[in-house]
Copies of this chain bind each other. A is one copy, B any other.
Amino acid sequence: MHIICSDLEGVFVPEIWINVAKHTGIESLKLTTRDISDYDVLMKKRLSILKENRLTLNDIQAVIKKIDPLEGAVEFLSWLRSAYQLIIVSDTFVEFAGPLMEKLGRPTLLCHSLIVAQDGSITDYRLRQKDGKRKTVQALHSLDYKVVAFGDSYNDINMLKEADASFLFRPPANVIKEFPEIRPTDDYNQLKGWIIDAIASFPH
């Protein structure tokens, strides 16, 4: 039996922080792990920027509600979930993803969480575990599933390497160059065909 594991941001919805930066006009929220490679340093920076600007979780959620899924994502997801079981594994926070998951029809999402004070300010964040994407594939293997995975960037690579069939969806050029063994596509229809072929190739 088989199951699908996918990333969220860049695959079904736009990058959340970049859109929060755009909508709030706070340029410094556009920083990503390409600018600050240590994720903890980056997140602490982002939370301090929110604090400086007195932005609460409610404010951020109001911004995120304005973000729409990528064009074609809802249709692709509808097909995917009618044909297979899907688990989305993301490095975002469950409190941020909520409004977007609603628009996607509430597929199951495994991700991290925020620590929010009584007044709604975000005081800290909690990574559920390290290397959670890879461990999710391992957990599904422990349930005797073959896993098809896709994602768009560096933080997906361990998941993609652990899965039984893997694809890159709209990855940056450097990721394509660095991981030539993982087929990249920009097109939901092509991805659909590859998923069907991969599952047909698994031993029955």
- Interface-forming stretch among A40-48, A101-109, A178-186? A101-109
0/1 string, A133-147, CB within 8 A of B gives 1: 001101110111100
B residues in contact with A94, CB < 8 Å: 1, 85
Query: How far, in Å, is A102 (CB) from chain B's closest CB?
Result: 7
Contact B143 A129 (CB under 8 A): yes
Closest to A78 in B: B106
Tell me if A's interface is mostly helix, strand, loop or mixed.
mixed
- Asked if A110 meets B85 with Cβ closer than 8 Å, knowing A128-B145, A144-B128, the reply is yes
- Asked if A1 meets B126 with Cβ closer than 8 Å, knowing A138-B142, A140-B139, A143-B139, the reply is yes
Q: List 19 A-B contacts (CB under 8 A).
A: A1-B113, A1-B126, A1-B128, A82-B106, A85-B94, A85-B108, A85-B109, A85-B110, A86-B108, A105-B105, A106-B107, A110-B143, A128-B145, A129-B144, A132-B143, A132-B144, A135-B143, A138-B142, A139-B142
Residues of A within 8 A of B (CB): 1, 3, 81-82, 85-87, 94, 98, 102, 105-110, 112-113, 126, 128-129, 132, 135-136, 138-140, 142-145
